[in-house]
Every structure is written in structure tokens, then in C-alpha cells.
Chains A and B, each alone.
Chain A
């Protein structure tokens, strides 16, 4: 019996928690090793898959006398959030978030940090238990690293978990400009059900005025670019998983001000860990939305049952809108015929917008400021997807190893919502013109 038939045999109405737990154990069977994604790295004992950072990378180690040696360079970078919006950011090793640091419980790490920023910096290993002098808080635990200098941090990662790292000097500026990254410590011995996929998604929020090139670290609200791993939809790489595979998503939030309720479509999941450690199985409960507070990580695990292209996004509606202005008058429902006649005289090139809602704004071919993506979404298989920002797609496939990450799900006939036939409506007693 293969996994697919097992799920079907198990019945979809069965309790999701029970089902996924059963599936997870099943995945530990040797035959599932062959089901690993092609080229997937193994990070730890028990065939634990290494984490994948969509749109990102993992920090490489050089092992010297048993010590894992890595090098982080804090530096100004050119960063593209999505085609059409580039920015001057500050990151690590050329990206924001910086490369994901991945280690195994008990590893001794030696991490060199070179400061190429125009001001001092330091790195705080967020959530890790380590010697106090390695905690990276400028002034409290160490001298800040002056521009041009390299400091070294060395510690043993004692507890497995999902952590983060970030600048701890002038945090307001350096975090707002992108000085953040994820830090994963795999357990020495596998804990809980083994997963087939292990993803890292770091949320962040930015204020970039339309037409500007640098995030505004002074912003305290009205953030207008929301990202997963530094990318806004449609530039977010999809997460490809196999139907019935157990997948883990490690969510981290080092955005300046906002918590993010991350919602997954088409499945439910358990929160299996936080940055404080593992959630005991008895304390886990099913969710479809997990709130990731600022300065926190949440780890969710699930086994998708339904193939398809499933939305993964922050459920704050403004967080899936790119660079929309927040001081606009509400035009919905306004009868602007008189205004339009007048405006044709006053401002040639003016077009009233938003009177019937704003869904179509992203597709309008009007000239906009350069280097801006207001109201932009991306192309979908059926039509334009009018969401941007903190949005990505979970692609559940029968054969994930062969799936094209950029391809769309092919729906079996009769499984896509479409126009209702008049005859069927009549048969079902539906009168669309009826007024109640």
C-alpha cells in the first residue's frame, strides 16, 4: 500500500491530528527515503532533511578541528523585493534575510562577523542559550563591532530549536534595513515524527515610499512592503511538497512592529515548536492560522491531503497589498460622473479609481513612479492574483520531485468553481434575480 492509498483508505473525515501523526510515523519507513526530494540534503541523524530557505541560502561551514566555522558579513546590499522594486538594504552575505544558519545540537560554532556597515554593529543569537559574553548585545555583552572590523563568536548550540539572529546595535535602523536571519539547530537525535520537508520562512515588513530606493527605518506604522524571506509575491518562491508528505515550516518574525497571522489554505497544522522549544504532543492543537509575534518563531507541521496550489499568506489584508497608500480617501461607491467631467479639464490623464473597489488596480496600465509596485499581485492560472506582499503558494503534488515549481496545478475535470448553469439553478430553486 502506498502513501496515497493509505490516506484514502484512512478516510478524509478522520481526525486530522491522528491522521498526520500516523502518517509521520509511516514516513520513517525506509521506503520513504527514496521519496526525498531530489538532491535534498540531510542535516542530522535519523535522516533529518536540511532546511530549505525559499529565495534564500544556508550559511556554509568549514570544519576546523571539529569546530564549524562560518563567516557573516554585515553589509549594505542591493535587494530586489519583486521585479520592479529594488532597494538599498542592509543584510548579511549579500542578502536579507542573511543566510540561514543551520547546525546540529551539540555543535561548537565559531562565527566570524565582519562589519562593512557605515556604523558599528553586533549580532545577537536570538533565542539561543549560550555564554553571556556571546549574546551580542552591544554595550551589555560586548563592545560594538566598529566598521571595518571582524569579531568572532564561539559557542556550543546546546538545545535544538528554531532561532533567529539579528543586529543588536541601532536595532531600529539595522533590523528595519534587513539585518536579520534564521538560526536552526537540529536535534542530535530526531524528535517527533520525521518530516520530509523542512522550510524556513522569515517574515519582515518595510516602509518604502513608492519611487524611493531605501526602506525608511523611522516608520512605526503604515508598512507597505511585507515579505517572506525578503521577497514579496509574485517573487516569493513556492513551497513544493508531496501529497501525504510531512512538511515543516519554521516561521520567524523579526519585522519591526507587526505580528503576522499566517494562514495556510487547504490543510490544518499543529504548532510543534516555538523558539522556546518543542510543544509537547499532548499540548498541540490544530490550526489553520498561526500568529507569529514580533521577535518569535513558530514551527508548524502538517501533512497535506489535497493536491493543488494553496495560498499561504498573512491574513492581515494590508499585508498582502504592495505599497498601497494608506491616506487615500475611500472612493468605493462614489458617483464621480460630475467630477470626471470636471477633471478632464483640470487634469488630463486623470482617472477616477476605486469607486467599484480596488481589485483591478494591479492590472491597470497607468504610469506609476519608477521602482514601485503599488497594488501589484501576480499572474495565476485562471486570472490575475490581486494579492502581493506576504503571500506565497504551497504546491502540493503527487510527485513533488518531478513537479515544476513554476507550474500550476492541473485540476481534474469538474473540480473548479465556474459559472452556474441556469438550468441547474432552476433545478436547485436558485433565482439570482430574487430580492429578499
Chain B
């Protein structure tokens, strides 16, 4: 049975008795240090402050005064994000339980006074002090389980830190990409406007029927709606980021650094990513700690089962000015209640957690492969856009201009080619966003946290909104 080694160890720990009891309890600062170490993210000390401040920290202001980058956004979120601070404070619960578990039981004092009366010539005083020895023996076992729970809470919090870092990056790239999409869409709108103006000029000259003007105007108006949709998308994404950064009021006027950066030419993948992800996995580490805690509780119950309730006491009786002192021992015989049920429940909890642990390990391996696939695909796609697709559309545009100069095609075909070239740029921005989001997700897994990958915006081509007009 798998639980045996755990139980054996716990038993040994229990028998070492109170040597461990009362060892130093962790502080909030040490929790923070441990989480920094686990998440590899520089958590500001203010997150462990004693007081809950209603306003966001002002340390973020210098970061917000410059055009925001993804790294700066992550730092601001670590300073300001209230969910993260709440998660960090939750470690305090486990920390409290840990402290409590290590505390020795209080001695029980019994005083009995019988005043002189009847046949009693003197006031009789009886004093008894009793100390629950069983609780003291079991305390280190309980403390060990609580320590494992506390460690699990630290892993959980570190996971929240890594996840927040990913969420901020993903939201940042989404906002940055949308900002860039908007700029491109506005250029496409210019092309629609030009086509409308051309149709109007031709109609004024009597060269095209009103149908052509109506067609181009309809195309232009549809493009305006598309641009308005992207404008709203940008506002939405700013707000999404705003929430993650914990900003409000005057602090919401930050600007995003101009363009979503290009990826490196060569995609560097770490060797043996599955093994790395497994060893870094904070959820597996948390589960291990929880397993340890469950094993601890199981051992505790089992030990408590065969350990008789043991109290030692000293009793004194004073009568006739004379103290008579004697010691006593009280014990219950563990004949019937040997905590069988509790032991069984804790063992089952342990087994269940162990199954979950193995399942999670499979999930983590799968997730890292999926993240790697997404990243490699996004990298290949963005390079293909950069090197092939956008240049190809640009060549189409250049050749269309030559054909226009050669009077083979008209202004409407030229503008259509322009819009299609801008569509290729839009698609490239989407691919860039995909790449950076996938990169952040992959990094998060290697830093120990599986994340839900945020989908990209559905590409909204600007080119198809109008038929060309004119010609015969």
C-alpha cells in the first residue's frame, strides 16, 4: 500500500516528539521571498504590507508615465492587482493554521476548596495540575501536516503570480495588436474613401451610373462600421488590461508602446520542455504538499488511534496546614475507538490526491506539448506573413500600380489591391499577437503554471466591402 512509507515517516517524526514543537513559524516576508523564488517574478514588498491600502500603490506611476511595454505592464500588475494581493494574503490562513498546530496544549489546573463545616475542622484545599501528554506528543505530527498545507498555499500563490503575469501579457498584446489593427484599418478606410471620391467624381462627370456611386458609398460606410468595431475592441482591451493592472481614475491615461514587436528569426526552444515543465509545475508541487499534508493527517489519526489519551498530573491537598502532594496518570484504553474511520478517510483522501497528481502530470505534459505546438506554429506563421505573404501582397500592389500606369486597370482595381495589401498587414498583426501570446503561455508553463490561451481576434478583412465600379 502506497501510503505506508508516508505513514512510517510520519510515525518516526511523531516519535521524535516535541523537539520539533514550537520551531519558528514563517513570516509574511518569508512567504513573499519564497513566492518570488518560485515564480521568478519580482514581487514588490508592498504586497505583504500589514495594512490593506484602499488606494493602489503609487510605485506604478513612473511606469505608467512612459509608453507601456509588456514587461512594464507585468510590473504594474504585480504592484496593483488586488486579486493577486488577496491571493497572497490567503497564505496567512495557512500560516495561522501552522502556527496553531505547533502550539503545546495548555496545562489544566484544578482548584477545589471545601470550607470548614460540620465535622470538617479546617478548610480543605485541593490543587490539581494536569497536562495532556497525548496532544503534546501528537503536536509535531499536526504541525507537519499544517506545514505541508502552508507550503501548498505558497505554491498556489506562486501559481497565481505566474498566471497573472501571463494574463497581463496576453491582454497587453491583445491591446497592442488591436491598436495596430486600428491604424491599418484607418488606412484601409482611406482607400475606401478614395474609391468613393473617385466614383463621385466619375458620376459628376457623367461617366458612370449612380449604381457605381452607391456601391462605393456602401463599401465606404461598411468600412466605417468595421473601423468603429475595431475602435470599440481597442477600448475593451484597454479596459481588460486596466482591470488586470488595477488602475482607475487619473491612472487610466497610459499609452501603449507603438508596435507589437517582431519575433526572433529563429525560435529557441529549451531542451526537454516536458521534463522542465514537470519539475517547474507549481500545481504538481502544490499537490505534492497537499499529499504530504494528507499523509500527515492520516499518520496523525493512526498514531492517535493506538496512542492512549495520556495525561499526567500533579495533585496537592492541604489539610491541617499540611500539603500532601501526589502525581497521577490518566489514560484511556484504545480498545474500541482506534480512529479507524478517520484513518481510513485520510488514507482515501491521500489516494484520491495521488490519482489526481498523476492525472495532472499527464495534463502538464500535454499542455506543454500543446503550448509548444502553438508557439512553433505561430512563429512559422508570423515569419511566413512577414517574409512571404505581406511582400506578395505588396508586389501585387506594385504590379497593379504598373498596370494602372499602363492603363490596363482602373483606379478601383488599384484601390482594391491596396486594401488587400492592408488586409495582409492586418493578418500579420494577428499572427504577431498569436506568437507573443503563445510565447507568454509557453513561458508560463515552463515557469510552473498552465494557462488558458486567449484566442486572437477573428480577422476582419477590410477589402471585400465594395465592388469595383466603372469600366465596361
Contacts and interface: CB of A to CB of B under 8 A. Distances in A.
Nearest to B409: A325
Interface string B197-218: 1101110111110000000000
A433 to B, nearest CB: 25
B414 A347 contact: yes
A333 B414 CA distance: 20
A372 B406 contact: yes
A210 interface: yes
Interface string B398-419: 0101111111111110110010
Interface stretch (A46-54, A192-200, A350-358, A378-386): A350-358
Interface string B163-202: 0000000000000000000000001001101100110111
Contacts of A361: 407
Interface in A327-354: 327-336, 338-339, 342-343, 345-347, 349-354
B128 interface: no
Contact of B201 (A323, A336, A372): A336
Interface string B27-57: 0000000000000000000000000000000
A349 B404 CA distance: 11
Nearest to B212: A329
B406 A338 contact: no
B402 A329 contact: no
Interface stretch (A112-120, A232-240, A363-371): A363-371
Given A339-B197, A342-B193, A342-B197, A331 B406 contact: no
A339 B198 contact: yes
B401 A329 contact: no
A271 B191 CA distance: 56
A174 interface: no
- Give the size range of A's interface with the partner: 35 or more
A100 interface: no
B471 interface: yes
Contacts of A372: 406
B205 A210 contact: no
Contacts of B187: 346
Contacts of B246: none
A211 B412 CA distance: 20
Given A327-B471, A332-B207, A333-B206, A368 B402 contact: yes
Contact of B204 (A210, A323, A334): A334
Nearest to A347: B418
B205 A334 contact: yes
Most buried by B among A332, A342, A361: A342
A5 B469 CA distance: 62
Contacts of A328: 407-410, 470-471
B472 interface: yes
A308 B65 CA distance: 81
Given A210-B408, A335-B201, 5 more contacts: A326-B472, A334-B205, A347-B418, A355-B205, A367-B405
Interface of B: 187, 190-191, 193-194, 197-198, 200-202, 204-208, 399, 401-412, 414-415, 418, 469-472
Q: Which A-B residue pairs are the 4 nearest by beta carbons?
A: A329-B470, A325-B408, A374-B406, A333-B205
21 contacts: A211-B399, A325-B408, A325-B410, A326-B472, A328-B410, A329-B202, A331-B202, A331-B205, A332-B207, A334-B201, A334-B204, A335-B201, A339-B201, A342-B194, A343-B411, A349-B401, A368-B406, A369-B399, A369-B402, A372-B406, A375-B407
